[in-house]
Amino acid sequence: MKNRVRELRLERDLSQGALADALGVSRQTINAIETGKYDPSLPLAFKMAAHFRLRIEDIFRPDKD
Amino acid sequence: MRDQTRESEARWPLASMLCIGTFGTAHSPAARLYHRRCWVALAVLIVGSFLSSVAGAAYDAPGTRWVFAALLGGTFSYIAWALWRYVSALDELGRRVQMEAMAITYVVGMAVFVSLGGVQTATRWNISPLVFIGLELIRSAALVAVSRQYR
CA distance A64 to chain B (A): 23
Enter the pTM of the model: 0.83
Is the pLDDT at B130 greater than 80? The verdict is no
Domain ranges of chain B: 27-89, 91-151
Q: Which residues of A touch B86 (CB under 8 A)?
A: none
| B150:A25 CB<8 A | no
Query: Could you tell me if A27 lies within 8 Å of chain B, comparing CB atoms?
Result: yes
- Among B11, B30, B29, smallest CA distance to B87 is for B30
Q: Kindly tell me the sign of the dihedral angle through the C-alpha atoms of B61, B63, B68, B69.
A: positive
ipTM: 0.88
Comparing CA positions, the residue from A25, A19, A42, A49 lying closest to residue B92 is A25
Give the chain A residue whose CA is nearest to the CA of B8: A31
Query: CA-CA distance, A47 to A56, in Å (whole number)?
Result: 9
Chain A residues touching residue B5 (CB < 8 angstroms): none
Closest by CA to B95, choosing from B145, B148, B22, is: B22
Q: How many angstroms separate the CA of residue B86 from the nearest CA in chain A?
A: 15
pLDDT at B57: 78
Closest CA to B85 of B135, B16, B132, B35: B35
pLDDT in tens, B4-50: 545 666 678 888 888 778 887 676 788 899 999 999 999 999 999 88
Percent of chain A's residues with pLDDT above 70: 98
Q: Position A42: which residue type?
A: L
Q: Which residue has the higher pLDDT, B150 or B11?
A: B150
Q: Check CB contact under 8 Å for A25 and B92.
A: yes
User: CB distance B91–A13 less than 8 Å?
Assistant: no
Secondary structure (3-state) at A58: helix
Instruction: Look over chain B and give the mean of its residue pLDDT values, rounded to a whole number.
Output: 86
**Structural contact between residues B90 and B28, judged by C-beta atoms closer than 8 angstroms:** yes
Q: Chain B closest CA to A16's CA: distance in Å?
A: 7
